[in-house]
Structure 1
Amino acid sequence: MPIDAARAVAAEPRSSEIAWDHKDIQLYHLGLGAGTPATDLDELRYTLESRLHVLPSFATVAGAGMAFAGGLAAPGLDINLASVLHGGQRIELHRPIPVKGTAVSTSRVAAVYDKGKAAVIVVRTAAADEDGPLWTSDAEIFARGEGGFGGERGPSVRAELPDRAPDRTVERAVREDQALLYRLSGDWNPLHADPEFAKLAGFDRPILHGLCTYGMTLKTVVDTLLGGDVARVRAYSTRFAGVVFPGETLRIRTWAGKGRIQASVTAAERDDAPVLADTVVEHM
């Protein structure tokens, strides 16, 4: 059955209560590679409960990231889940995420675009606690073979990099076991752990979660350009351009502007193969 975009967008939002505490935050940060060196005071902000702050990208795994799957279950989206890829991600922070909290997470399909051979589904999730809005998250889901239903093509926004050398270039090693640790925050897809499943998906070995690379990149920007202050981040967006394998090295190039930092992320050992593109951190 073809996608019914109007029905999907008009569907009632789905709400659920989510909760987290310092253990969820620490596990998420460790899954991004935080804690090296273990006694470094800057790293202890990510790993020690008495010093803890919350990296804004935690919003993508709060409540075990169930909003993503819930959005794809909306009426009008009769799609093959095996054809689905995470195409892009954006989060907007309304205020800093507390170390411990309970919130209502509400998800809906904000848009469905017809790209011809594929469809792009935008799942929007808003989280709020008793004090008001916390974050709004947009996940762009790329569904191969699901286009051609006669919908709008949608925007094609690209964040062109400045025509100059990057202000900083930082390399971040991805541990061999990093995908195994990151998946404990809620993404149990065997693609990131099971070699046989990875081969069925066309990879010679398991790949790292795209959202892990997303979080690693934000941590690098916060630590190197924002004085380690997570509260300065206002929004963060990216497009997933390629895969990363555990054991590789991320090369993160950044360009700083007024209230805006752009980044390019590549796999250093594979001739700088693109990993994240159109990556922008908006900050105060």
Structure 2
Amino acid sequence: MPIDLDKALGAEPVTRDIAWSRRDVLLYHLSLGAGRDAHTDPELRWTFERDLQVLPTFAMVAGQGPSAGDLPPVGMDLPGVDVDLRRVLHGGQSLTVHRALPPEGSATVTTRTTNVWDKGKAAVVVLENSARSPYDELLWTTQMQIWIRGEGGFGGEPGPDAPHGQPGRDPDHVLETRTDPGQALLYRLNGDLNPLHADPDFAGAAGFDRPILHGLASYGLVAKALVDGLLDGDAARLRSLDVRFAGSIFPGQTLVTSVWRTDDGLVLASACPERGGAPVLTHATAEVSP
């Protein structure tokens, strides 16, 4: 059976030690387009080691970049989950940072499967990560929703309904982010070597015209747009970001992110104008500090 619900939920948490360097942080920022217009704005807060700050979404790749050395083959190495990688999509992501991330450091990360939801035509595996510093400070917590097409119908709970979407009024801000044709090839060096983002044949077998940009790259692009466009370039003000991945984007296309200010924080929605305004990120919220 591809999904063994009892085994997946009953597995012991996995703990691993990670470390990262300034080079890892710089690569991450460059893979999100930082410094693209270096002749007019080198964006030194993202691209130069002096006074380097860290985009909070770096937490999603910390410990996986060049400092980690050779990475194991890509796969779904989860107890109770044995599926074809071509059926896997990143369905949603949340991140809460509890303190500003240092440009270099180490942490102990604990991973566990918290839920497996039955969506009928798909299964959704929810993975939770928490990271603590060597001083036992909580650095960040994340939840990743992994959609596995064709693996539903096993009799599990369907999970919660999607949160409310965007407000019924014009956005307060609109942020535009362009991507480069080779951006997925650069972003994958952060550690996600899924061939879906590099190999045209693999992408075609998965139903795409060509390799797509990583969902977490879109996630990071939106986070950077928020920090640059609304938070005065101060990465520490972005405290959380929760999104649903509603559609893919091809490298070289554009993300247009609408932002609404509410009493509870920011509500976001990103779309791709080259695809007729098709949604990319939906049901998205962000918490920011003053």
TM bin (shorter chain)? over 0.9
Question: What is the aligned length?
Answer: 282
Distance 1:81-1:191 versus aligned 2 partners, 3 A rule: closer
Match of 1:21 in 2: 21
- Superposed displacement of residue 196, structure 1: 2.3
RMSD: 2.0
Tell me if 1:207 matches 2:215.
Answer: no
C-alpha offsets along residues 67-89 of structure 1, whole Å, 9 cap, x if unaligned?
xx999433322333332111000
Q: State how 1:87-236 maps to structure 2 within 5 Å.
A: 87-131=91-135, 132-236=137-241
Residues in 2 aligned to 1:84 and 1:199: alpha-carbon distance in whole angstroms: 14
Match of 1:273 in 2: 278
- Superposed displacement of residue 64, structure 1: 1.6
Structure 1 unaligned blocks of 5 or more? none
Normalising by structure 1, report the TM-score. Answer: 0.93
Residues in 1 aligned to 2:214 and 2:131: alpha-carbon distance in whole angstroms: 23
Distance 1:22-1:112 versus aligned 2 partners, 3 A rule: same
Q: Contact 1:84–1:142 at 8 Å: present in 2 too?
A: yes
C-alpha offsets along residues 53-102 of structure 1, whole Å, 9 cap, x if unaligned?
11111111112289xx9994333223333321110000111111111001
- Superposed displacement of residue 210, structure 1: 0.9
Q: Contact 1:45–1:51 at 8 Å: present in 2 too?
A: yes
Answer with 32-41 or 82-91: which moved more. 32-41
Name the SS of the counterpart of 1:33 in structure 2: coil
Residues in 1 aligned to 2:59 and 2:40: alpha-carbon distance in whole angstroms: 25
The one-letter amino acid paired with 1:113 is: W
- Superposed displacement of residue 152, structure 1: 1.2
Residues in 2 aligned to 1:19 and 1:74: alpha-carbon distance in whole angstroms: 22
Relative to its length, the structure with more helix (as a share) is 1
Residues in 1 aligned to 2:224 and 2:260: alpha-carbon distance in whole angstroms: 15
Match of 1:239 among 225, 244, 247: 244
- Superposed displacement of residue 163, structure 1: 1.3
- Superposed displacement of residue 42, structure 1: 7.8
Q: Contact 2:59–2:140 at 8 Å: present in 1 too?
A: yes
- Superposed displacement of residue 211, structure 1: 0.6
Q: Contact 1:120–1:143 at 8 Å: present in 2 too?
A: yes
Match of 2:84 in 1: 80
Name the SS of the counterpart of 2:266 in structure 1: strand
Q: Contact 1:71–1:123 at 8 Å: present in 2 too?
A: no
Normalising by structure 2, report the TM-score. Answer: 0.91
Name the SS of the counterpart of 2:115 in structure 1: strand
Q: Contact 2:90–2:145 at 8 Å: present in 1 too?
A: yes
Q: Contact 2:74–2:193 at 8 Å: present in 1 too?
A: no
- The percent of aligned pairs where both chains have the same amino acid is 50
Name the SS of the counterpart of 2:29 in structure 1: helix
Residues in 1 aligned to 2:275 and 2:74: alpha-carbon distance in whole angstroms: 35
The one-letter amino acid paired with 1:64 is: Q
The one-letter amino acid paired with 2:132 is: A
- Superposed displacement of residue 212, structure 1: 0.5
- Superposed displacement of residue 159, structure 1: 3.1
- Superposed displacement of residue 2, structure 1: 5.2
